[in-house]
Amino acid sequence: MFGISEVNVSFTMLANIRKKRPFIISRSTFPSSGRYGGHWLGDNNSEWPEMHSSITGILNFNMFGIPMVGADICGFNGNTTEELCTRWMQLGAFYPFSRNHNSLYMNDQDPAVFSSASQESSRNALLIRYSLLPYLYTLFHKAHVNGSMVARPLFFNFPRDPSLYEVDTQFMLGGAVLVSPVLTQGATSVSASFPPGRWYSITPEPPLTFNKTTSMVLDAPLGKINLHLRGGYIVPTMIPETTTTETAQNPVLLVVSLDESGTAKGHMYWDDGDDIDSYENGKYSWWSFTAQNNSVVSSIEHDGFSGSSKMVFYGGTVNGVTTKPSSVTLNGQDCTHTYLEDAQLLDIACPKLPFNKSLVLHWI
């Protein structure tokens, strides 16, 4: 009880003094601590099994109602290796709470101390994380208002499949993003379970479709983290920068992943990131996205965030387009587009339009 009492008092005092939303991370927590702060998993070791076990810890704490949770990337105690730290940075970029952290007197382990290839791998993973900022923020909003999980075991999204109950080497962010990291030394491939449905790699590859849970071996050279998007979901993204503040100033892009019936849906929540009780006071904006019949519609259902008028939209990616389009338009204006036939991927760039207005993206 000491942990939850401490975070409660800290939250209340900081909110009263600063008049802003506090960000608190504790190592001592208790169920319902997630109302006030997050958790880190404590002093782990720079060892491969500890990287593996971090996934279980993160999923457990999400089930405990503490969604903002992460482990010390690359390990806290002991000296890491370049391979271990590279793989851990790939995984840790998708922890809800992502932090590379180690003990005094241990060798440095920030990405800059390793080879250029390792640095590039870490940079790419973190840039993907930053591009997912609107999606992650929306997941945390849902966790705040209805107690849902941000990081989820596969069986939470597919509860009727007993074969997924013991999967502890993969996890999902919300319902849309599947993370399949390398967790063993020297590996250049990874075995991944895919539940029924259609799945799209974040790199241009042919889509995968399964009518039952299927295990596949995926290529995973040292610089690659395997991420897949679930068909039927629309993921809001932004062009990533080196800080969340800069990223939040960039245009919104939608990543649409069509299911077998050619449909998808999604949502986005946004506020100023600082005000206390933004949702309770209505100072937020909420969008709904739907895709069907070769169109994506963006509708703003609540527009209480004062900065929404400065937000712009100018395209994105549609996965699952089976025929090369001859034209793409946004609210009737022509867009440029690139089509990759094997990957069934349509990449779109349009004239920038206000994001707080109704938008219709259409291809024929």
Taking only the tens place, the pLDDT of each residue in 111-170 is 999 999 999 999 999 999 999 999 999 999 999 999 999 999 999 999 999 999 999 999
pLDDT at 1 > cutoff 90: no
The fold of 151-230 is: Immunoglobulin-like (2.60.40)
- The domain spans of the chain are 2-132, 151-230, 233-363
Closest listed residue to residue 345, CA positions, set 184, 207, 217, 235? 207
pLDDT at 192 > cutoff 80: yes
- Compute the distance between CA of residue 220 and CA of residue 218 in angstroms, rounded to an integer: 6
- Compute the distance between CA of residue 254 and CA of residue 354 in angstroms, rounded to an integer: 14
Burial class for 66, CB neighbours closer than 10 Å (0-12, 13-18, 19+):
buried
Burial class for 223, CB neighbours closer than 10 Å (0-12, 13-18, 19+):
middle
Report pTM.
Answer: 0.97
- Report the pLDDT averaged over residues 298-307: 98
- Compute the distance between CA of residue 121 and CA of residue 111 in angstroms, rounded to an integer: 9
Contacts of 72 (CB under 8 A, 6+ apart): 40, 41, 43, 44, 99, 100, 101, 102
- Report the pLDDT averaged over residues 200-222: 98
How sure is the predictor about 73, in pLDDT bands with cuts at 50, 70 and 90?
very high
Residues of the chain with pLDDT > 90, as a percent, come to 98
Tell me if 2-132 shares its fold with 233-363.
no
Q: What is the pLDDT of residue 338?
A: 98
CATH class of 233-363: mainly beta
pLDDT at 2 > cutoff 90: no
The fold of 2-132 is: TIM Barrel (3.20.20)
pLDDT, tens digit, for every residue of 10-49?
A: 999 999 999 999 999 999 999 889 999 999 999 999 999 9
How sure is the predictor about 64, in pLDDT bands with cuts at 50, 70 and 90?
very high
How sure is the predictor about 3, in pLDDT bands with cuts at 50, 70 and 90?
confident
Closest listed residue to residue 137, CA positions, set 241, 222, 244? 244
pLDDT, tens digit, for every residue of 75-115?
A: 999 999 999 999 999 999 999 999 999 999 999 999 999 99
Which DSSP symbol is given to 107? P
pLDDT, the chain, mean: 97
- Report the pLDDT averaged over residues 274-281: 95
First CA to last CA distance, the chain: 60
Q: What is the pLDDT of residue 362?
A: 99
How sure is the predictor about 235, in pLDDT bands with cuts at 50, 70 and 90?
very high
Q: What is the pLDDT of residue 157?
A: 98
